[in-house]
Amino acid sequence: MELVDKIKDLMSFPPVASEHGKSMDDFIVYVHVLMAVLFVGWFAYFLYALFRFRHVKNPKASYTGAQTSFSTYAEVAVAVAEVILLVSLAIPLWATVVDSDKFPTEKDKPLVIKVTAQQFAWNARYPGKDGAFGKQDIKFVAPDNKFGVDKNDPNTKDDFESAINLMHVPSDRKVIIHLSSLDVIHCFKVVPLRITQDAIPGLMIPMHFKAVKEGKYMITCAQLCGNGHATMRGNITVLSQSDYDKWEADIAAKAKDTATSFE
């Protein structure tokens, strides 16, 4: 709807680069419109009440107060509008983005990446040609093995890590990120992709998205995670599938040791 887009411009929404981003922005606009209507409506009512019940005309306080049902009807109307927003927009949108039933399946041929946050950087691990990750275990975690990869697992052989803070994904293809943390709680946030997920030590939390616009987008940490929190930035580059394949072949060729990061 054109009006919705105009309001987005007015509110200076950042550009959207993911499939679900538009409906998320639309929803934010609807909520703001409702809030604007409430603000104007209740403020007008407040001014009216100030004037209508002014001291000069009402020297003695009324102990019964106003007897109309206007505010009751208004409250019910607001509640109905909020229920409509919640049930028809918010819950379905949440389900599309978060619900495990709606996750990309085998037939979507998603790219699966493992991301581990640490103070104060992002590490990303890719499954390589075979599409399968080597086994991981907490007992293998070491300064040079942040993902705790079992180096003897044959699936580990073609896995590779991208350079620290630099991730690449293809556009127009589903991406699943399994997110974890080495130390404290971090939060993986990419504003143009409209994705935000806490990274919690001991948990591997999946999230998914489909980028639809090529470009280089900033990854930020959205949880205050220590002194270097503000410097915990990375880049996620969205490439066409063919450029992504080239990047992957290139970086995989450079990988001498599967548990090391490469520029």
Of 32, 25, 34, 31, nearest to 5 by C-alpha is: 25
Please provide the distance, in angstroms rounded to a whole number, between the alpha carbons at the two ends of the chain: 44
29 versus 115: smaller Cβ distance to Cu ion: 115
114 versus 186: smaller Cβ distance to Cu ion: 186
29 versus 222: smaller Cβ distance to Cu ion: 222
CB of 197 to Cu ion, least distance (A): 12
Do the beta carbons of residue 68 and residue 53 sit within 8 Å? no
CB atoms within 10 A of CB 5: 14
**Choices 36-44, 72-80, 166-174, 186-194 (CB under 5 A): range interacting with Cu ion:** 186-194
- Tokens 């085998």 -> residue: 106
Q: Which residues ranging from 164 to 183 are in contact with Cu ion (CB under 5 A)?
A: none
186 is a site residue for Cu ion (CB under 5 A):
yes
Binding-residue pattern over the window 193 to 232 for Cu ion, x denoting contact by CB under 5 A: ----------------------------x---x------x
16 versus 166: smaller Cβ distance to Cu ion: 166
DSSP string covering 109-157, please? --EEEEEEEETTEEEEEE-TTTT-PPPB-GGG-BTTBTT-B-TTSGGGT
CB of 65 to Cu ion, least distance (A): 52
- Tokens 């970086």 -> residue: 251
211 versus 221: smaller Cβ distance to Cu ion: 221
Helix/strand/coil for 62: coil
Pair of tokens at residue 37:
């209507």
CB of 107 to Cu ion, least distance (A): 35
Query: How many residues interact with Cu ion (rule CB under 5 A)?
Result: 4
Binding stretches for Cu ion (CB under 5 A): 186, 221, 225, 232
